[in-house]
Structure 1
Amino acid sequence: MFSGIVEAVGVVDKVVDAGGGLRFRINCPQILADAQMGESIAVNGTCLTVIEYTEEWFDVEVTQETLRCTTLGTLKEKQKVNLEKALKVSDRLGGHMVTGHVDTVGHVGAITEDGFSKIMKFTLDGKWAPFFVKKGSVTVEGVSLTVADCGGLSNNSSNAGKGGEFWFTVALIPHTMDVTTLGTIQVGDPVNVETDVIARYVVRLLGDSYLENLNKERESVL
Protein backbone atom coordinates (compact mmCIF):
# COMPACT_ATOMS: atom_id res chain seq x y z
CA MET A 1 0.00 0.00 0.00
CA PHE A 2 1.18 3.49 -0.85
CA SER A 3 -0.03 7.05 -0.27
CA GLY A 4 0.73 8.73 -3.59
CA ILE A 5 3.25 11.08 -1.97
CA VAL A 6 6.35 10.72 -4.11
CA GLU A 7 9.49 10.33 -1.99
CA ALA A 8 12.09 10.80 -4.69
CA VAL A 9 12.64 10.99 -8.42
CA GLY A 10 14.98 8.31 -9.75
CA VAL A 11 16.70 7.85 -13.09
CA VAL A 12 16.47 4.74 -15.25
CA ASP A 13 20.04 3.50 -15.68
CA LYS A 14 19.45 0.29 -17.61
CA VAL A 15 16.62 -1.40 -19.49
CA VAL A 16 17.28 -5.09 -20.16
CA ASP A 17 15.20 -7.69 -21.98
CA ALA A 18 14.50 -10.32 -19.33
CA GLY A 19 13.08 -12.95 -21.70
CA GLY A 20 9.35 -12.30 -21.68
CA GLY A 21 9.57 -9.09 -19.67
CA LEU A 22 11.90 -6.22 -18.82
CA ARG A 23 14.40 -5.60 -16.06
CA PHE A 24 15.05 -2.02 -14.97
CA ARG A 25 17.94 -0.61 -12.98
CA ILE A 26 17.00 2.65 -11.31
CA ASN A 27 19.45 5.04 -9.66
CA CYS A 28 18.15 6.74 -6.52
CA PRO A 29 20.41 6.61 -3.41
CA GLN A 30 18.01 8.63 -1.24
CA ILE A 31 15.31 5.97 -1.34
CA LEU A 32 17.67 3.09 -0.52
CA ALA A 33 18.83 4.05 2.99
CA ASP A 34 16.99 1.13 4.64
CA ALA A 35 16.26 -0.97 1.56
CA GLN A 36 15.49 -4.68 1.78
CA MET A 37 15.33 -7.47 -0.74
CA GLY A 38 11.77 -8.21 -1.80
CA GLU A 39 10.30 -4.93 -0.62
CA SER A 40 7.85 -2.98 -2.74
CA ILE A 41 8.59 0.31 -4.46
CA ALA A 42 6.11 2.14 -6.65
CA VAL A 43 7.70 3.22 -9.94
CA ASN A 44 5.48 5.78 -11.68
CA GLY A 45 2.64 4.38 -9.61
CA THR A 46 3.31 0.72 -10.40
CA CYS A 47 4.07 -1.57 -7.45
CA LEU A 48 7.28 -3.49 -8.20
CA THR A 49 9.54 -5.79 -6.18
CA VAL A 50 13.19 -5.04 -5.45
CA ILE A 51 15.21 -8.04 -6.65
CA GLU A 52 18.71 -6.57 -6.26
CA TYR A 53 20.15 -3.35 -4.87
CA THR A 54 23.21 -1.43 -3.72
CA GLU A 55 23.52 1.93 -1.99
CA GLU A 56 23.12 3.63 -5.36
CA TRP A 57 20.60 1.62 -7.41
CA PHE A 58 17.95 -1.08 -7.34
CA ASP A 59 16.65 -3.56 -9.90
CA VAL A 60 13.05 -4.56 -10.60
CA GLU A 61 11.47 -6.93 -13.10
CA VAL A 62 8.32 -6.13 -15.05
CA THR A 63 6.09 -8.86 -16.48
CA GLN A 64 4.33 -8.76 -19.83
CA GLU A 65 1.00 -8.26 -18.05
CA THR A 66 2.31 -5.16 -16.30
CA LEU A 67 3.84 -3.87 -19.53
CA ARG A 68 0.43 -4.20 -21.21
CA CYS A 69 -1.38 -2.27 -18.48
CA THR A 70 1.13 0.52 -17.79
CA THR A 71 3.51 2.93 -19.47
CA LEU A 72 6.61 1.14 -18.15
CA GLY A 73 7.29 -0.42 -21.53
CA THR A 74 8.00 3.05 -22.92
CA LEU A 75 10.69 3.92 -20.36
CA LYS A 76 14.11 4.72 -21.76
CA GLU A 77 17.55 4.97 -20.17
CA LYS A 78 18.15 8.32 -18.42
CA GLN A 79 14.40 8.89 -18.09
CA LYS A 80 13.18 10.12 -14.70
CA VAL A 81 10.59 8.18 -12.67
CA ASN A 82 8.52 8.86 -9.56
CA LEU A 83 9.37 6.60 -6.62
CA GLU A 84 7.61 5.76 -3.36
CA LYS A 85 8.36 3.00 -0.87
CA ALA A 86 5.49 0.97 0.58
CA LEU A 87 3.85 2.43 3.68
CA LYS A 88 4.56 1.24 7.20
CA VAL A 89 1.70 0.95 9.68
CA SER A 90 3.12 3.91 11.60
CA ASP A 91 3.38 6.18 8.54
CA ARG A 92 1.12 9.14 7.84
CA LEU A 93 -1.35 8.71 5.00
CA GLY A 94 -0.60 12.08 3.44
CA GLY A 95 -2.32 11.44 0.11
CA HIS A 96 -4.89 8.65 -0.21
CA MET A 97 -4.90 4.85 -0.29
CA VAL A 98 -2.95 3.78 -3.37
CA THR A 99 -2.47 0.11 -4.24
CA GLY A 100 0.15 0.47 -6.95
CA HIS A 101 -2.07 -1.54 -9.30
CA VAL A 102 -2.46 0.69 -12.34
CA ASP A 103 -5.94 0.52 -13.88
CA THR A 104 -5.30 2.03 -17.28
CA VAL A 105 -3.12 4.28 -19.39
CA GLY A 106 -4.50 7.75 -20.05
CA HIS A 107 -3.07 10.61 -22.09
CA VAL A 108 -2.39 14.27 -21.41
CA GLY A 109 -5.11 16.15 -23.27
CA ALA A 110 -4.26 19.74 -22.38
CA ILE A 111 -2.12 21.85 -20.05
CA THR A 112 -3.19 25.39 -19.18
CA GLU A 113 -1.84 28.06 -16.85
CA ASP A 114 -4.05 29.08 -13.93
CA GLY A 115 -2.27 31.67 -11.84
CA PHE A 116 0.75 30.01 -10.24
CA SER A 117 -0.70 26.55 -10.88
CA LYS A 118 -1.32 24.45 -13.96
CA ILE A 119 -4.52 22.67 -14.93
CA MET A 120 -3.85 19.33 -16.56
CA LYS A 121 -6.53 17.50 -18.50
CA PHE A 122 -6.27 13.74 -18.99
CA THR A 123 -8.32 11.56 -21.31
CA LEU A 124 -9.07 7.86 -20.96
CA ASP A 125 -11.62 5.24 -21.92
CA GLY A 126 -15.15 6.05 -20.78
CA LYS A 127 -15.55 2.76 -18.90
CA TRP A 128 -13.62 4.35 -16.03
CA ALA A 129 -16.10 7.23 -15.62
CA PRO A 130 -18.04 5.65 -12.70
CA PHE A 131 -14.89 5.75 -10.55
CA PHE A 132 -14.49 9.53 -10.78
CA VAL A 133 -16.19 12.32 -8.88
CA LYS A 134 -15.31 15.98 -8.43
CA LYS A 135 -12.99 16.45 -5.43
CA GLY A 136 -12.35 12.72 -5.38
CA SER A 137 -8.92 11.10 -5.50
CA VAL A 138 -6.92 9.76 -8.42
CA THR A 139 -3.31 8.65 -8.89
CA VAL A 140 -1.40 9.80 -11.97
CA GLU A 141 2.15 8.49 -12.46
CA GLY A 142 2.17 7.55 -8.77
CA VAL A 143 1.12 11.02 -7.59
CA SER A 144 -1.97 11.40 -5.40
CA LEU A 145 -4.14 14.15 -6.90
CA THR A 146 -7.57 15.67 -6.42
CA VAL A 147 -10.03 15.58 -9.31
CA ALA A 148 -10.93 19.19 -10.11
CA ASP A 149 -13.50 18.36 -12.77
CA CYS A 150 -14.54 15.43 -14.94
CA GLY A 151 -16.86 14.75 -17.85
CA GLY A 152 -17.21 13.63 -21.43
CA LEU A 153 -19.46 11.22 -23.32
CA SER A 154 -19.50 8.72 -20.50
CA ASN A 155 -20.29 11.31 -17.89
CA ASN A 156 -23.35 12.88 -19.49
CA SER A 157 -25.06 10.20 -21.55
CA SER A 158 -26.17 6.58 -21.52
CA ASN A 159 -22.62 5.52 -22.35
CA ALA A 160 -21.51 5.59 -18.72
CA GLY A 161 -19.38 2.57 -18.01
CA LYS A 162 -19.60 1.40 -21.63
CA GLY A 163 -16.75 3.18 -23.39
CA GLY A 164 -16.37 6.42 -25.28
CA GLU A 165 -13.95 9.13 -24.23
CA PHE A 166 -13.82 10.46 -20.68
CA TRP A 167 -11.72 13.25 -19.22
CA PHE A 168 -10.74 14.62 -15.86
CA THR A 169 -8.66 17.58 -14.73
CA VAL A 170 -6.33 18.23 -11.81
CA ALA A 171 -4.68 21.40 -10.52
CA LEU A 172 -0.94 21.18 -9.89
CA ILE A 173 0.90 23.53 -7.55
CA PRO A 174 4.54 24.41 -8.31
CA HIS A 175 5.83 22.15 -5.51
CA THR A 176 4.21 19.07 -7.03
CA MET A 177 5.64 19.90 -10.43
CA ASP A 178 9.09 20.46 -8.91
CA VAL A 179 9.34 17.21 -6.90
CA THR A 180 7.70 14.82 -9.39
CA THR A 181 7.88 14.13 -13.12
CA LEU A 182 4.51 15.83 -13.69
CA GLY A 183 6.31 19.11 -14.27
CA THR A 184 7.91 17.75 -17.44
CA ILE A 185 5.08 15.84 -19.12
CA GLN A 186 3.63 17.22 -22.33
CA VAL A 187 0.36 17.07 -24.25
CA GLY A 188 -0.04 13.64 -25.82
CA ASP A 189 2.16 11.82 -23.30
CA PRO A 190 0.81 8.54 -21.87
CA VAL A 191 0.37 8.33 -18.08
CA ASN A 192 -0.41 5.60 -15.57
CA VAL A 193 -3.80 6.10 -13.93
CA GLU A 194 -5.07 4.35 -10.81
CA THR A 195 -8.63 5.11 -9.77
CA ASP A 196 -9.72 5.38 -6.15
CA VAL A 197 -9.73 1.86 -4.69
CA ILE A 198 -12.75 2.67 -2.50
CA ALA A 199 -14.72 3.77 -5.56
CA ARG A 200 -13.76 0.54 -7.33
CA TYR A 201 -15.12 -1.63 -4.55
CA VAL A 202 -18.30 0.43 -4.17
CA VAL A 203 -19.10 0.21 -7.89
CA ARG A 204 -18.34 -3.53 -7.90
CA LEU A 205 -20.65 -4.15 -4.94
CA LEU A 206 -23.46 -2.11 -6.47
CA GLY A 207 -23.04 -3.90 -9.79
CA ASP A 208 -24.87 -3.24 -13.06
CA SER A 209 -27.95 -1.83 -11.32
CA TYR A 210 -25.86 1.13 -10.16
CA LEU A 211 -24.72 1.93 -13.69
CA GLU A 212 -28.26 1.58 -15.05
CA ASN A 213 -29.67 3.95 -12.42
CA LEU A 214 -26.79 6.35 -12.99
CA ASN A 215 -27.59 6.48 -16.69
CA LYS A 216 -31.29 7.09 -16.02
CA GLU A 217 -30.53 9.97 -13.65
CA ARG A 218 -28.20 11.57 -16.16
CA GLU A 219 -30.69 11.18 -19.01
CA SER A 220 -33.43 12.77 -16.91
CA VAL A 221 -31.51 16.04 -16.63
CA LEU A 222 -30.48 16.26 -20.29
Structure 2
Amino acid sequence: MFTGLIREIGTLGGTSPAGGAVRLDITAPLTAERLAVGDSVAVDGICLTVTRVRGRSFSVAAVGETRRLTTLGTWRRGRRLHLEPALRVGDALDGHLMQGHVDGVGRVTGLRRSGGGLAVTVAADAAQRRFLTPKGSVGVDGVSLTVDEGPFTTGFTVNLIPHTLQETRFGELRVGDHVNLEMDVLVKAVRTGDMTLLPRLDPGAADAGTAAAAGASGLTMDQLLAKGAWRPRSRKRTGD
Protein backbone atom coordinates (compact mmCIF):
# COMPACT_ATOMS: atom_id res chain seq x y z
CA MET A 1 0.00 0.00 0.00
CA PHE A 2 1.00 3.61 -0.60
CA THR A 3 -0.25 7.08 0.34
CA GLY A 4 0.45 9.05 -2.82
CA LEU A 5 3.05 11.25 -1.16
CA ILE A 6 6.20 11.29 -3.26
CA ARG A 7 9.35 10.61 -1.25
CA GLU A 8 11.86 11.25 -4.03
CA ILE A 9 12.09 11.96 -7.74
CA GLY A 10 14.37 9.37 -9.31
CA THR A 11 15.96 9.17 -12.75
CA LEU A 12 15.59 6.27 -15.17
CA GLY A 13 19.11 5.13 -15.97
CA GLY A 14 18.14 2.59 -18.60
CA THR A 15 16.11 -0.49 -19.47
CA SER A 16 17.08 -4.00 -20.50
CA PRO A 17 15.34 -7.34 -21.22
CA ALA A 18 14.98 -9.66 -18.23
CA GLY A 19 13.42 -12.95 -19.29
CA GLY A 20 9.86 -12.16 -20.27
CA ALA A 21 10.01 -8.81 -18.51
CA VAL A 22 11.91 -5.54 -18.75
CA ARG A 23 14.33 -4.38 -16.08
CA LEU A 24 14.39 -0.69 -15.20
CA ASP A 25 17.42 0.80 -13.47
CA ILE A 26 16.55 3.85 -11.38
CA THR A 27 18.93 6.25 -9.65
CA ALA A 28 17.45 7.49 -6.37
CA PRO A 29 19.78 7.50 -3.35
CA LEU A 30 17.18 8.15 -0.63
CA THR A 31 14.81 5.48 -1.92
CA ALA A 32 17.55 2.93 -2.61
CA GLU A 33 18.75 3.30 0.98
CA ARG A 34 15.37 2.16 2.25
CA LEU A 35 14.73 -0.70 -0.18
CA ALA A 36 15.67 -4.38 -0.20
CA VAL A 37 15.24 -7.04 -2.88
CA GLY A 38 11.61 -8.19 -2.92
CA ASP A 39 10.19 -4.91 -1.60
CA SER A 40 7.40 -3.06 -3.36
CA VAL A 41 7.89 0.48 -4.62
CA ALA A 42 5.53 2.78 -6.51
CA VAL A 43 7.14 4.19 -9.66
CA ASP A 44 4.94 6.87 -11.25
CA GLY A 45 2.07 5.17 -9.47
CA ILE A 46 2.87 1.61 -10.62
CA CYS A 47 3.57 -0.96 -7.91
CA LEU A 48 6.74 -2.79 -8.95
CA THR A 49 9.00 -5.32 -7.22
CA VAL A 50 12.60 -4.49 -6.43
CA THR A 51 15.00 -6.98 -8.03
CA ARG A 52 18.33 -5.36 -7.17
CA VAL A 53 19.73 -2.63 -4.94
CA ARG A 54 23.18 -1.26 -5.65
CA GLY A 55 24.53 1.88 -3.98
CA ARG A 56 22.51 4.90 -5.07
CA SER A 57 20.28 2.96 -7.47
CA PHE A 58 17.85 0.07 -7.61
CA SER A 59 16.17 -2.06 -10.27
CA VAL A 60 12.59 -3.18 -10.78
CA ALA A 61 10.97 -5.53 -13.29
CA ALA A 62 7.85 -4.93 -15.38
CA VAL A 63 5.95 -7.51 -17.42
CA GLY A 64 4.29 -6.92 -20.78
CA GLU A 65 0.82 -6.29 -19.35
CA THR A 66 2.16 -3.51 -17.14
CA ARG A 67 3.84 -1.86 -20.10
CA ARG A 68 0.64 -2.14 -22.11
CA LEU A 69 -1.78 -0.79 -19.50
CA THR A 70 0.34 2.08 -18.16
CA THR A 71 2.66 4.78 -19.47
CA LEU A 72 5.70 2.62 -18.69
CA GLY A 73 6.12 1.50 -22.28
CA THR A 74 6.91 5.08 -23.34
CA TRP A 75 9.58 5.76 -20.70
CA ARG A 76 13.06 6.62 -21.95
CA ARG A 77 16.46 7.01 -20.33
CA GLY A 78 16.64 10.20 -18.27
CA ARG A 79 12.93 10.31 -17.43
CA ARG A 80 12.23 11.67 -13.95
CA LEU A 81 10.03 9.34 -11.91
CA HIS A 82 7.84 9.78 -8.83
CA LEU A 83 8.91 7.27 -6.17
CA GLU A 84 7.27 6.03 -2.99
CA PRO A 85 8.35 2.93 -1.03
CA ALA A 86 5.53 0.77 0.35
CA LEU A 87 3.97 1.78 3.64
CA ARG A 88 5.27 0.23 6.81
CA VAL A 89 3.26 -0.15 9.99
CA GLY A 90 3.57 3.10 11.92
CA ASP A 91 4.04 5.31 8.85
CA ALA A 92 1.85 8.41 8.64
CA LEU A 93 -1.20 8.18 6.36
CA ASP A 94 -1.10 11.73 5.07
CA GLY A 95 -2.45 11.25 1.53
CA HIS A 96 -5.01 8.54 0.72
CA LEU A 97 -4.60 4.79 0.49
CA MET A 98 -3.34 3.67 -2.90
CA GLN A 99 -2.45 0.21 -4.18
CA GLY A 100 -0.23 0.99 -7.14
CA HIS A 101 -2.73 -0.72 -9.45
CA VAL A 102 -3.19 1.63 -12.39
CA ASP A 103 -6.81 1.78 -13.59
CA GLY A 104 -6.06 3.52 -16.86
CA VAL A 105 -4.09 6.19 -18.66
CA GLY A 106 -5.37 9.76 -18.84
CA ARG A 107 -4.31 12.59 -21.15
CA VAL A 108 -3.54 16.15 -20.10
CA THR A 109 -5.91 18.44 -22.02
CA GLY A 110 -5.48 21.73 -20.18
CA LEU A 111 -2.96 23.66 -18.08
CA ARG A 112 -3.77 26.96 -16.37
CA ARG A 113 -1.31 28.78 -14.10
CA SER A 114 -2.52 31.18 -11.44
CA GLY A 115 -0.79 32.65 -8.40
CA GLY A 116 2.05 30.16 -8.45
CA GLY A 117 -0.33 27.21 -8.69
CA LEU A 118 -1.35 25.08 -11.64
CA ALA A 119 -4.77 23.73 -12.64
CA VAL A 120 -4.40 20.51 -14.63
CA THR A 121 -7.30 19.07 -16.63
CA VAL A 122 -7.09 15.37 -17.48
CA ALA A 123 -9.29 13.45 -19.91
CA ALA A 124 -10.27 10.01 -18.63
CA ASP A 125 -12.31 7.09 -19.95
CA ALA A 126 -15.83 6.45 -18.64
CA ALA A 127 -14.53 3.37 -16.84
CA GLN A 128 -12.43 5.64 -14.65
CA ARG A 129 -14.81 8.61 -14.45
CA ARG A 130 -17.48 6.52 -12.72
CA PHE A 131 -15.27 6.44 -9.64
CA LEU A 132 -14.77 10.20 -9.41
CA THR A 133 -16.54 12.11 -6.63
CA PRO A 134 -16.63 15.88 -6.02
CA LYS A 135 -13.61 16.85 -3.89
CA GLY A 136 -12.61 13.18 -3.78
CA SER A 137 -9.17 11.65 -4.25
CA VAL A 138 -7.39 10.40 -7.34
CA GLY A 139 -3.87 9.14 -7.96
CA VAL A 140 -2.08 10.80 -10.88
CA ASP A 141 1.36 9.34 -11.66
CA GLY A 142 1.45 8.14 -8.07
CA VAL A 143 0.55 11.48 -6.47
CA SER A 144 -2.50 11.78 -4.21
CA LEU A 145 -4.58 14.70 -5.47
CA THR A 146 -8.03 16.19 -4.85
CA VAL A 147 -10.34 16.52 -7.84
CA ASP A 148 -12.65 19.45 -8.51
CA GLU A 149 -16.42 19.45 -8.01
CA GLY A 150 -17.20 18.22 -11.53
CA PRO A 151 -19.19 17.56 -13.60
CA PHE A 152 -16.91 14.78 -14.80
CA THR A 153 -18.22 14.69 -18.36
CA THR A 154 -14.91 13.95 -20.04
CA GLY A 155 -12.44 13.98 -17.16
CA PHE A 156 -11.46 16.03 -14.13
CA THR A 157 -9.35 18.96 -12.96
CA VAL A 158 -6.87 19.06 -10.08
CA ASN A 159 -5.44 22.25 -8.62
CA LEU A 160 -1.77 21.99 -7.66
CA ILE A 161 -0.29 24.30 -5.04
CA PRO A 162 3.31 25.56 -5.34
CA HIS A 163 4.56 22.99 -2.80
CA THR A 164 3.18 20.11 -4.90
CA LEU A 165 4.83 21.54 -8.00
CA GLN A 166 8.13 21.75 -6.12
CA GLU A 167 7.98 18.17 -4.79
CA THR A 168 6.85 16.54 -8.06
CA ARG A 169 7.63 16.89 -11.74
CA PHE A 170 4.14 18.21 -12.54
CA GLY A 171 5.61 21.61 -13.34
CA GLU A 172 7.02 19.95 -16.48
CA LEU A 173 3.63 18.75 -17.75
CA ARG A 174 2.55 19.65 -21.26
CA VAL A 175 -0.81 19.37 -22.99
CA GLY A 176 -0.97 15.95 -24.63
CA ASP A 177 1.13 14.18 -21.97
CA HIS A 178 -0.22 10.87 -20.68
CA VAL A 179 -0.47 10.06 -16.98
CA ASN A 180 -1.22 6.95 -14.93
CA LEU A 181 -4.55 7.08 -13.09
CA GLU A 182 -5.58 5.16 -9.97
CA MET A 183 -9.09 5.76 -8.72
CA ASP A 184 -9.91 5.84 -5.00
CA VAL A 185 -10.15 2.25 -3.75
CA LEU A 186 -12.85 3.20 -1.21
CA VAL A 187 -15.08 4.61 -3.94
CA LYS A 188 -14.42 1.56 -6.13
CA ALA A 189 -15.39 -0.79 -3.29
CA VAL A 190 -18.61 1.06 -2.50
CA ARG A 191 -19.78 1.58 -6.08
CA THR A 192 -19.04 -1.99 -7.15
CA GLY A 193 -20.17 -3.53 -3.87
CA ASP A 194 -16.91 -5.49 -3.72
CA MET A 195 -15.51 -5.00 -0.22
CA THR A 196 -12.61 -7.37 -0.95
CA LEU A 197 -11.04 -4.48 -2.87
CA LEU A 198 -10.26 -2.84 0.44
CA PRO A 199 -6.92 -3.60 2.11
CA ARG A 200 -6.71 -5.30 5.48
CA LEU A 201 -3.69 -3.98 7.35
CA ASP A 202 -2.04 -6.66 9.48
CA PRO A 203 0.24 -5.24 12.23
CA GLY A 204 2.34 -8.39 12.00
CA ALA A 205 3.23 -7.85 8.36
CA ALA A 206 6.52 -6.26 7.35
CA ASP A 207 4.79 -3.60 5.27
CA ALA A 208 1.31 -2.57 4.31
CA GLY A 209 1.72 -3.91 0.78
CA THR A 210 2.41 -7.39 2.14
CA ALA A 211 -0.52 -7.05 4.53
CA ALA A 212 -2.91 -6.14 1.74
CA ALA A 213 -1.94 -9.30 -0.13
CA ALA A 214 -2.50 -11.45 2.95
CA GLY A 215 -6.28 -11.44 2.83
CA ALA A 216 -9.52 -9.66 2.08
CA SER A 217 -10.69 -6.57 3.89
CA GLY A 218 -12.04 -6.79 7.41
CA LEU A 219 -13.93 -3.52 6.93
CA THR A 220 -17.72 -3.47 6.85
CA MET A 221 -20.09 -0.94 5.29
CA ASP A 222 -21.01 0.33 8.77
CA GLN A 223 -17.33 0.98 9.48
CA LEU A 224 -16.98 2.89 6.21
CA LEU A 225 -20.01 5.00 7.12
CA ALA A 226 -18.65 5.64 10.60
CA LYS A 227 -15.32 6.76 9.16
CA GLY A 228 -17.06 9.10 6.72
CA ALA A 229 -15.75 7.27 3.66
CA TRP A 230 -19.16 7.26 2.00
CA ARG A 231 -22.24 9.45 2.29
CA PRO A 232 -25.38 7.73 0.97
CA ARG A 233 -28.22 9.98 -0.14
CA SER A 234 -30.50 8.72 2.64
CA ARG A 235 -28.12 9.69 5.45
CA LYS A 236 -26.65 13.08 6.31
CA ARG A 237 -23.26 13.61 7.93
CA THR A 238 -22.52 16.63 10.08
CA GLY A 239 -19.26 18.26 11.05
CA ASP A 240 -17.84 18.80 7.52
TM-score range, shorter chain: 0.7 to 0.9
The normalised TM-score by structure 2 is 0.78
The within-5 A match list for 1:27-66 is 27-66=27-66
- Using the TM superposition, give the Cα deviation of residue 152 of structure 1 relative to its aligned residue in structure 2, in angstroms: 4.7
SS at match of 2:20: coil
2:137 alignment partner in structure 1 = 137
1:192 alignment partner in structure 2 = 180
- 1:109-167 residue CA offsets vs partner (Å, 9 max, x unmatched): 100012221100000112222200111000000000000233354xxxxxxxxxxxx21
- Using the TM superposition, give the Cα deviation of residue 20 of structure 1 relative to its aligned residue in structure 2, in angstroms: 3.5
Aligned sequence identity (%): 40
Instruction: State the alpha-carbon separation in 1 of the partners of residues 113 and 72 from structure 2.
Output: 28
Alignment partner of 1:179 out of 151, 167, 176 = 167
1:18 alignment partner in structure 2 = 18
Instruction: State the alpha-carbon separation in 1 of the partners of residues 175 and 101 from structure 2.
Output: 24
SS at match of 1:32: helix
1:2 alignment partner in structure 2 = 2
1:76 alignment partner in structure 2 = 76
- 1:183-208 residue CA offsets vs partner (Å, 9 max, x unmatched): 111100000000000111111118xx
Q: Which moved more, 1:122-131 or 1:88-97?
A: 122-131
**5+ unaligned residues in a row in structure 1: which ranges?**
154-165, 207-222
Instruction: State the alpha-carbon separation in 2 of the partners of residues 106 and 31 from structure 1.
Output: 27
SS at match of 2:95: coil
- Using the TM superposition, give the Cα deviation of residue 32 of structure 1 relative to its aligned residue in structure 2, in angstroms: 1.9
Asked if the contact 1:149/1:170 (under 8 Å) is kept, the reply is no
Instruction: State the alpha-carbon separation in 1 of the partners of residues 19 and 38 from structure 2.
Output: 21
| 2:34 partner amino acid | D
- 1:84-111 residue CA offsets vs partner (Å, 9 max, x unmatched): 0000110010100010000000000100
Asked if the contact 1:48/1:61 (under 8 Å) is kept, the reply is yes
The normalised TM-score by structure 1 is 0.84
| 1:95 partner amino acid | G
| 1:130 partner amino acid | R
Instruction: State the alpha-carbon separation in 1 of the partners of residues 152 and 44 from structure 2.
Output: 26
Q: What's the RMSD between the two structures over aligned residues?
A: 1.3
Asked if the contact 2:35/2:85 (under 8 Å) is kept, the reply is no
Asked if the contact 2:44/2:180 (under 8 Å) is kept, the reply is yes
Asked if the contact 2:132/2:152 (under 8 Å) is kept, the reply is no
Q: Which moved more, 1:125-134 or 1:51-60?
A: 125-134
| 1:14 partner amino acid | G
Instruction: State the alpha-carbon separation in 2 of the partners of residues 9 and 150 from structure 1.
Output: 30
Asked if the contact 1:105/1:192 (under 8 Å) is kept, the reply is yes
